[in-house]
């Protein structure tokens, strides 16, 4: 564990972006029925889905009239960046979070607010996260791949264990108005994924508007967009000499990275951790097709 992380209530946070006080204050955050929350474990397609949600929810994004960074238009509730502005925001508000279910605002269980939970094959999450650590100046830049793999499997990484994150949210899904989606589902058929999200949010878009959402959230277009790539964030945090935020955007990159032994080590932990969870993940079923 490096000096830039602290542990609070079972989760590792980055010291520069939040404090225990901020985390605690979220318990009482006032929720509106019209609020939409995007919840993910890091590197699961957060920025991508944020882009999709903003385009669906706001015509001014679709027609290009408003083009502001992802961090501002979908504030992260656990970061100290924009918290003070939460209450003054106009409905419908969109928020993003990597928090586990038990640290989310309590009010979410009693309002009709909606949550979209996006998850991704954890092996691809691991590889993406590893590359992100190289980009992120404040994290352990010298980490070896094998070391990082071990930290990831034991949950000693930013935002804690992937396994606990998905298990927690999945086993408490009845408490929330929640839609589960996968990165891979977006990747394989973005248009259908957009329509699914529209249905969940009760938003009707005509075919042209759906096309615009799909087009503006393609990997190609987002990769060229500095605002989607965190390019406005100070060099103190991200070093773009070392990589890009929108890196490959593919399914199955783990196969280029993990050795057979590493893959077996991963599967062992995976099976142990996930054995009680009653969902069959697509990557367990048709991994070969990826």
Q: Select from 19-27, 53-61, 217-225, 260-268 the region that touches ligand A3P (CB under 6 A).
A: 217-225
Say if residues 155 and 164 touch (Cβ distance below 8 Å).
Answer: yes
**Phi and psi at residue 115, to the nearest 5°:** -120, 135
Does residue number 246 form part of the binding site for ligand A3P (CB under 6 A)?
yes
Q: Which of 43, 61, 73, 93 binds ligand A3P (CB under 6 A)?
A: 43
Of 93 and 133, which has the nearer Cβ to ligand A3P? 133
Q: Which of 9, 191, 248, 255 binds ligand A3P (CB under 6 A)?
A: 248
- From CA 181, how far away is CA 13, in angstroms rounded? 25
Q: Which of 47, 104, 135, 153 binds ligand A3P (CB under 6 A)?
A: 47
Of 45 and 75, which has the nearer Cβ to ligand A3P? 45
Of 31 and 124, which has the nearer Cβ to ligand A3P? 124
Within 10 angstroms of residue 27's Cβ, the number of other Cβ atoms is 12
Does residue number 219 form part of the binding site for ligand A3P (CB under 6 A)?
yes
Of 97 and 217, which has the nearer Cβ to ligand A3P? 217
E-strand stretches of the chain = 5-8, 11-14, 36-40, 94-97, 114-119, 178-182
Catalytic residue among 98, 133, 159, 165: 98
In the window 173-212, what residues touch ligand A3P (CB under 6 A)? 187
Does residue number 48 form part of the binding site for ligand A3P (CB under 6 A)?
yes
Closest distance between ligand A3P and the C-beta of residue 69, in Å?
Answer: 13
CA distances from 45 to 70, 122, 156, 185, 236 (A): 13, 12, 21, 11, 24
- From CA 187, how far away is CA 25, in angstroms rounded? 36
In the window 53-92, what residues touch ligand A3P (CB under 6 A)? none
Task: Establish whether 98 is a catalytic residue.
Answer: yes
Q: If 0-12 CB within 10 Å is exposed, 13-18 middle and 19+ buried, where does residue 237 land? A: middle
Among the listed residues 82, 110, 107, the one whose alpha carbon sits nearest the alpha carbon of residue 96: 82
- From CA 46, how far away is CA 87, in angstroms rounded? 23
Say if residues 245 and 230 touch (Cβ distance below 8 Å).
Answer: yes
> Torsion-angle region of residue 244: left (phi > 0), alpha (psi -120 to 50) or beta?
beta
Closest distance between ligand A3P and the C-beta of residue 130, in Å?
Answer: 9
In the window 126-165, what residues touch ligand A3P (CB under 6 A)? 128, 131
Q: Which of 36, 114, 253, 262 binds ligand A3P (CB under 6 A)?
A: 253
Number of residues that bind ligand A3P (CB under 6 A): 21
Question: How many CA atoms within 13 Å lie on the side-chain side of 70?
Answer: 23
Q: Select from 7-15, 39-47, 55-63, 100-108 the region that touches ligand A3P (CB under 6 A).
A: 39-47
Q: Which of 37, 217, 254, 266 binds ligand A3P (CB under 6 A)?
A: 217
User: Which residues are marked as active site?
Assistant: 98
The residues binding ligand A3P (CB under 6 A) are 40, 42-48, 124, 128, 131, 187, 217-219, 222, 246-249, 253
């Amino acid at each position: 564990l490096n000096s830039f992380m602290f542990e609070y209530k079972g989760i590792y946070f980055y010291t520069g972006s939040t404090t225990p006080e901020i985390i605690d204050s979220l318990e009482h955050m006032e929720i509106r029925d019209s609020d939409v929350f995007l919840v993910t474990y890091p590197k699961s397609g957060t920025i991508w889905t944020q882009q999709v949600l903003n385009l669906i929810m706001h015509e001014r994004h679709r027609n290009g009239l408003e083009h502001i960074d992802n961090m501002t238009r979908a504030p992260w509730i656990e970061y100290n960046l924009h918290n003070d502005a939460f209450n003054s925001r106009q409905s419908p508000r969109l928020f993003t979070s990597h928090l586990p279910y038990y640290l989310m605002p309590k009010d979410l269980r009693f309002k009709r607010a909606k949550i979209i939970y996006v998850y991704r094959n954890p092996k691809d999450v691991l590889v993406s996260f590893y590359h992100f650590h190289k980009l992120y100046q404040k994290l352990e830049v010298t980490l070896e791949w094998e070391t990082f793999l071990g930290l990831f499997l034991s949950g000693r990484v930013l935002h804690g264990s992937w396994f606990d994150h998905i298990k927690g949210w999945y086993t408490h899904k009845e408490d929330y108005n929640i839609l589960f989606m996968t990165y891979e589902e977006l990747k394989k058929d973005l248009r259908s994924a957009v329509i699914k999200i529209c249905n969940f949010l009760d938003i009707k878009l005509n075919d042209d508007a759906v096309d615009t959402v799909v087009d503006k959230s393609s990997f190609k277009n987002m990769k060229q967009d500095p605002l989607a790539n965190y390019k406005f964030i100070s060099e103190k945090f991200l070093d773009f000499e070392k990589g890009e935020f929108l890196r490959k955007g593919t399914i199955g990159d783990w196969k280029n990275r993990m050795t057979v032994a590493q893959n077996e080590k991963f599967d062992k932990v995976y099976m142990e951790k996930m054995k009680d969870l009653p969902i069959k993940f697509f990557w367990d079923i048709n991994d070969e097709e990826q």
